[in-house]
Amino acid sequence: MISLVNRGITRTFLDSTVRSFSVVAGSTKSRHRHGEYPPSERKIKRNQRKEERRKLAEHYKLLDEEAIKSNFEKKWCCKLSLIVERQPIVFGQPPEWYTRFEKIREQRRLDKLMPPYDKVVDSIINAREETFELEDKDRMEMKKLHEASTSDITPADKANDRHSLLRNTPGFLYLLIDTPAGWSFPSVEFDESKYKSTREALERLAAATYGKDLQLFYWGYPPCVHTARKYSEQEQKKTQTFGEKVFYYRAARLIGDVDLPPSVGKDFNWVSLMEIPEYIKDENLVGYLNRVLE
């Protein structure tokens, strides 16, 4: 009996000693519980975009170094390109389906907060099946109103009229020109002896391409994106230039229509961002536009 008591006292003493030493040594830092989980899809895409930007900057840096070492007097042919956009159209009066939908939703909200006396009495008197029928009727009405919310589809959408501005009204449209070289945004070579600033060059480009009726608002002075490419040997011999840089600027349509001169292009189209790959086959440029537009 005494040995059992001594054994219990010894075990208690050892446990307390171990606890005291662990307190002095300090507690070990627990591992973060999220460390074992893989990164989210959003983080993966963000890291991919960072890596793409890093590679692109490194590629442009190598091109600049190669241009400096070249024997051409003119290193780069700098061009300014104009992206004209039609912003989303917000109609002044909401459609009928939206007004009716808001009335039903507001009435249901008020009924939940403070149901009228008559409705409370009716719910007590009437059978439970009738109450369910009323709820089903409201639910069906709400479903019909949701289905009727496709009023944003205009006749131009149904006809796929890409000359019309009343198409894809909830989103943006971008103006493309059909030139002999293919569909593209209009561009002009920037020459400091001809233009005092890039804004003046863009304004002249817009007037010569779209006519004076189309009025634009320019989104600041810096470009939204730029591309650089090295000319082929044949192009270098012909132009005596190492390569070409194109700086893209954005401008919003205010009022007016396009009056395209025959010398500039054969046709024009207002297209959405998702439709641009149908016209422009340069995958790198399409990828850049997907990042900076909208």
77 and 119 together in one domain: no
Pairing mode of beta strands 241-255, 74-86: parallel
Q: Answer yes or no: is 13 within a domain.
A: no
Q: Answer yes or no: is 36 within a domain.
A: no
Q: Answer yes or no: is 22 within a domain.
A: no
Per-residue pLDDT at 20 exceeds 80: no
pLDDT digits (tens, 9 = 90+) for 128-151: 555 555 566 666 766 665 554 545
The predicted model gives 280-294 an average pLDDT of 88
Q: Answer yes or no: is 168 within a domain.
A: yes
- % of the chain residues with pLDDT over 70: 72
117 and 228 together in one domain: no
206 and 80 together in one domain: yes
Look up the domain containing 137 and give its range. Answer: 96-148
Per-residue pLDDT at 270 exceeds 50: yes
pLDDT band at 26 (very low <50, low <70, confident <90, very high): very low
112 and 211 together in one domain: no
Per-residue pLDDT at 264 exceeds 70: yes
Task: Work out the number of other CB atoms within 10 angstroms of the CB of residue 247.
Answer: 19
pLDDT digits (tens, 9 = 90+) for 43-82: 888 888 889 889 989 999 999 999 999 888 899 999 999 9
Which has more pLDDT, 3 or 238?
238
Most confident of 121-125, 126-130, 133-137, 206-210: 206-210
Q: Answer yes or no: is 30 within a domain.
A: no
Contacts (Cβ under 8 Å, ≥6 apart) of 263: none
206 and 102 together in one domain: no
Q: Answer yes or no: is 60 within a domain.
A: yes
Per-residue pLDDT at 2 exceeds 50: no
pLDDT digits (tens, 9 = 90+) for 78-121: 999 999 999 988 766 677 777 888 888 888 887 777 655 555 55
Q: What is the pLDDT of residue 145?
A: 55
193 and 80 together in one domain: yes
Per-residue tokens: 280: 């422009």
The residue among 132, 148, 164 that closes a domain is 148
CATH assignment at residue 267: 3.90.79.10
Per-residue tokens: 22: 């662990």
Residue 45's closest CA among 294, 290, 280? 290
102 and 83 together in one domain: no
194 and 239 together in one domain: yes
Contacts (Cβ under 8 Å, ≥6 apart) of 144: none
224 and 264 together in one domain: yes
Per-residue pLDDT at 14 exceeds 60: no
The residue among 116, 148, 180 that closes a domain is 148
101 and 123 together in one domain: yes
Q: What is the pLDDT of residue 52?
A: 86
240 neighbors 71 (Cβ within 8 angstroms):
no
Averaged pLDDT score across all residues of the chain: 81
Per-residue pLDDT at 155 exceeds 90: no
202 and 252 together in one domain: yes
214 and 137 together in one domain: no
Which has more pLDDT, 291 or 15?
291
Q: What is the pLDDT of residue 142?
A: 63
